Amino acid sequence: MGDMREIRNIVILTGAGISAESGIDTFRSEGGLWEQHRVEDVATPEAFARDPDLVLRFYDMRREAIQTKQPNKAHDALARLDSAWQGGLLIVTQNVDDLHERAGAKRLLHMHGEHLNAWCTACDIRVPWIASLIERPPCPVCGMQALRPDVVWFGEMPYGMDEIHAAVRNCDLFVSIGTSGAVYPAAGLVRIARDLGAQTLELNLEPSKGSPRFHEARHGPATVIVPAWVEEVLSGGG
């Protein structure tokens, strides 16, 4: 990585790998989520229309599971960086768990939505939600039984793209943590940053599909390599 004195604005993209050591399955690794449930059976609007019980049960299970998990040292390190970094910073997470915010991160955007929110498709309100949805509870605002998980499914537009693009276009350093680089538009952000002159760094357990898109890649478990990188940034090294 270059000299940190040149770095003012940082964008950090995170994926399932940052939560892996908290005990939350990643999507594409062996034994990962999509192997037990085909993507098209659970994570598309068409699947929800065809078999809402299957989709709601799947997300109920996930919503319950994440409430038993804790942030790990990688989430903690990013929260520390967020509070200490004087320049611009945005953590863009593809994760729908709440471990970044439980670790204390503030400058955070959930581009794929949040497990702990429900979205009423009747009145378009989004409400915090920790219970199950399978019994079709009424929307607390309009009373309609039209709540769905507030997660972005394949074929739907991720949240916050304007804000994300603005931050990426302005960043001097783009860091990707624990993501396979398989899902767009998230996977394309590094290209935008790099084309505009930002330094780019990948932190991942192993070389990912996206590794060649980065100036530098460091490999290892997130709980080890993320805190080490954050210490480096905060000490002005690089």
d(CA 175, CA 187): 12
Given a contact cutoff of 8 angstroms between Cβ atoms, the answer to whether 55 and 47 are in contact is yes
Q: Which of residues 35-94 bind ligand OAD (CB under 6 A)?
A: 43, 94
Order of strands, edge to edge, in the sheet holding 199-204?
108-110, 89-93, 10-14, 173-177, 199-204, 216-219
Which span sits near ligand OAD by CB under 6 A: 23-31, 55-63, 131-139, 140-148? 23-31
**109 binds ligand OAD, rule: CB under 6 A:** no
Which span sits near ligand OAD by CB under 6 A: 82-90, 122-130, 163-171, 200-208? 200-208
> Site size for ligand OAD, by CB under 6 A?
26
Q: Which amino acid is at 203?
A: L
Asked whether the bond before 185 is cis by omega within 30 degrees of 0, the reply is: yes
**19 binds ligand OAD, rule: CB under 6 A:** no
Q: How far is CA 57 from CA 63, 127, 136, 151, 207, in A?
A: 10, 19, 11, 14, 34
Contact with ligand OAD (CB under 6 A): which of 9, 22, 117, 208?
208
Active site residues: 112
**17 binds ligand OAD, rule: CB under 6 A:** yes
By CB under 6 A, name the binding residues for ligand OAD.
Answer: 15-17, 20-21, 26-29, 32, 43, 94, 112, 151-152, 178-180, 182-183, 204-206, 208, 221-222
